[in-house]
């Protein structure tokens, strides 16, 4: 099989399981974090007395990723891939808004959402390996996605992709989105990300403090986790038991 077909095949497989494989990476990161809490060693950053500031910086990275995702999702047209896991879907080619400066903004948002917890381990080598893994992992997915878009939209896709970078946004050429921003869509689709983000940070912090027989918990993480979980269940109820978050278009 030629590399072109092989990359596409790998990308389609990774696309289907893109929500599962990162959890394995998170588990490895959690194990490294727990180990470093017991046995600080080579490759682990010495955070004292700046530990709290470092943790908040990591949280800021994760929230940046969530903001990028929310802005992207809020402006997406109906019937695009989103969180679909079975196959690529795209009724239209979105080239405005954030898509006018970067072709894969959702994957850029995912990177920051996962980079934050990776950096929370304070293990330099794990962060480097995570970045390399993310590059190889999502490169395949982006390749398969672009093959699908190229076949479906032809010259329209080639014209757009010819001046918009795939992952690192360009600094100029932003075009206002053709689609109105929908908070309802954001609430429906991104409630899981917010709750999971704070759960991860809270879990890391509590585990680390308990291992070190300390009670200097990060109350921003604890408060954020509590609020985000309440918000999650409220939005879940509104989505599944009411029509408040429903939209005709």
- 45-74 pLDDT, tens digit per residue, is 666 677 788 889 999 999 999 999 999 999
- 150-163 pLDDT, tens digit per residue, is 888 889 989 988 89
Helix locations, the chain, DSSP H? 3-16, 21-38, 51-74, 105-120, 124-153, 155-161, 183-211, 219-241
Nearest to 55 by CA among 207, 178, 236, 220: 220
Answer whether residue 101 shows pLDDT above 90.
Answer: yes
Phi, psi values for residue 97, rounded to 5°: 65, -140
Residues 68/234/203/185 CA torsion (nearest 10 deg): -20
The domain locations on the chain are 3-241
End-to-end CA distance of the chain: 42
Half-sphere exposure of 241 (CA within 13 A, CB side): 6
What is the maximal distance between C-alpha atoms in the chain?
A: 62
Average pLDDT value for residue range 161-187? 90
Please give the Cα distance from 98 to 214 (Å, whole number): 44
Model confidence, pTM = 0.86
DSSP 8-state secondary structure symbol assigned to residue 97:
B
- Give percent above pLDDT 90 in the chain: 28
């Amino acid at each position: 099989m030629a590399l072109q077909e092989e990359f596409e095949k790998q990308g389609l497989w990774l696309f289907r399981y893109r929500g599962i494989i990162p959890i394995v990476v998170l588990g490895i990161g959690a194990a490294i974090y727990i180990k470093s809490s017991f046995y600080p060693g080579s490759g682990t950053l010495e955070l004292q007395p700046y530990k709290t500031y470092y943790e908040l910086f990591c949280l800021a990275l994760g929230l940046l990723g969530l903001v990028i995702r929310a802005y992207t999702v809020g402006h997406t047209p109906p019937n695009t891939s989103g969180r679909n896991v079975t196959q690529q879907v795209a009724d239209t080619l979105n080239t405005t808004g954030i898509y006018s400066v970067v072709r894969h903004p959702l994957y850029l948002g995912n990177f920051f959402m996962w980079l934050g917890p990776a950096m929370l381990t304070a293990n330099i080598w794990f962060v480097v390996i995570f970045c390399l893994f993310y590059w190889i992992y999502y490169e395949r997915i982006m390749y398969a996605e672009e093959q699908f878009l190229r076949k479906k939209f032809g010259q329209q896709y080639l014209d757009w992709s010819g001046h918009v970078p795939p992952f690192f946004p360009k600094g100029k050429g932003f075009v206002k989105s053709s689609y109105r921003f929908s908070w309802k869509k954001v609430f429906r689709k991104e409630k899981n990300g917010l709750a999971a983000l704070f759960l991860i940070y809270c879990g890391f912090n509590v585990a680390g403090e308990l291992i070190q027989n300390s009670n200097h918990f990060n109350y921003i993480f604890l408060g954020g986790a509590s609020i985000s979980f309440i918000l999650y269940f409220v939005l879940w109820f509104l989505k599944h038991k009411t029509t408040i978050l429903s939209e005709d278009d």
